[in-house]
Amino acid sequence: MTTHQRAAWTSPFAVAERLERATSVDRLAEALAHSARTVTPASGRLHDELRGRSLGHPAHGVLTDLPIGLWVSAALLDATRLPGHAAAARRLVGLGVLGAVPTVVTGLSDVGALSPAARRVAAVHAATNGVGNALMASSWLARREGRSRLGATLTAVGLAAVGAGAMLGGHIAQALKEPADVP
């Protein structure tokens, strides 16, 4: 593999573009689509609200700021170790986990409107964020048990996973400009 080829694989944008064509991800993409059909309505008022139609803006992208902001705030408290930081960081992580629920549901409501290429990227986006959410839930549990250092480590690793997932979500929304039928 040449240096140029290696660089092409290491660029996050190149990885996202390769995922668009990666038919090996199709089974995961179909599993995501099945989950979306199972969890969210295919049409009607609730579907429209989950998509953000009454807002005139997609709801999923807006809602992502809530858990990410809470988790980054917890990580900053972990880094500064100010007095009383442990309890505050635990609460922030827990609130972020709760805030991830409507974020996931609104993301699932968008899946049916995606092209096959975008759905492949979305499948990896969802899987990566699923790992991040699981790490954050584990962080909250560790913190609740008084294991603040483990909780802080899990938060940092979870943020890395969620950051990778966010980059893929941004690729779907910005580079692919999907889902196309959003208000």
The whole-chain average pLDDT of the chain stands at: 92
Confidence of residue 73 (pLDDT cuts 50, 70, 90): very high
Q: How many CA atoms lie within 13 A of 40 on its CB side?
A: 27
Identity (one letter) of the amino acid at 148? Answer: S
Higher pLDDT, 5 or 55: 55
Asked whether the beta carbons of 96 and 71 are under 8 A apart, the reply is yes
Q: At residue 182, does pLDDT exceed 60?
A: no
Higher pLDDT, 3 or 155: 155
Percent of the chain with pLDDT over 70: 92
Give the 3-state secondary structure of residue 115. Answer: coil
- Cα–Cα distance, 94 to 31 (Å, whole number): 28
Give the pLDDT mean for 122-150.
Answer: 98
- Cα–Cα distance, 170 to 148 (Å, whole number): 32
Asked whether the beta carbons of 96 and 67 are under 8 A apart, the reply is yes
**What is the predicted pLDDT for the residue at 57?**
83
Asked whether the beta carbons of 125 and 144 are under 8 A apart, the reply is no
Q: Residue 121: exposed, middle, or buried by beta-carbon count in 10 A (0-12, 13-18, 19+)?
A: buried
Asked whether the beta carbons of 121 and 172 are under 8 A apart, the reply is yes
